Amino acid sequence: MKSLSKTLLVATAIALPFSAFAAHHKNHEVPMANQLIVMSLGAAEDKVLQLADAIPSSKYDYTPMEGVSNVGEVLMHLAGANYFIGSMLGHEVPEGINPRELGKDADKAAMIEIYKASVKHAKKAVKMVSADAMAEEIEFFGMTAPRGRLALIAADHQHEHLGQLIAYARANKIVPPWSE
């Protein structure tokens, strides 16, 4: 019986730090709503990247008409918005990055890398916001709404411009890779 008591005591002593670690990290779990927004960002990112890769660099200056962003400008607009909205959610823009100046004189490969880094930033920003903070009313873009709405705008914005890039690709007889 003494050896069983000693074994239980040792097991408890060993387990306590792990249970404290688990309890600590449970408080930092990403809320389900945030996870879904991150998944939506990821779904759009995947298709944007497939199109960005499928569109030849010679078509990155394609625009359907004067005054409308070209392919490269759409990618950099998305990247800038990812950094901007991420910062509004509380994740500071990395030093040396100016969201309004992204991609100046960049080639296709550099634009794709800039876009990838920006989505990573936006996803991290969304993951960092607590459920309580997501419910807080804040002012942005001339409206008052829960912070979670701003996080949704990050994903909505990706999907909106994904549609634009699909139209640009189709106008250039490029089939989106996932449609082949």
The pLDDT tens digits of the residues spanning 103-143 come to 988 999 999 999 999 999 999 999 999 999 999 999 988 99
Residue 98 has pLDDT above 50, yes or no: yes
Give the chain's length: 180
Contact 86, 122 (CB under 8 A): yes
**pTM reported for the whole predicted model:** 0.82
Residue-level pLDDT at 180: 81
Q: Cα separation of 121 and 83, whole Å?
A: 7
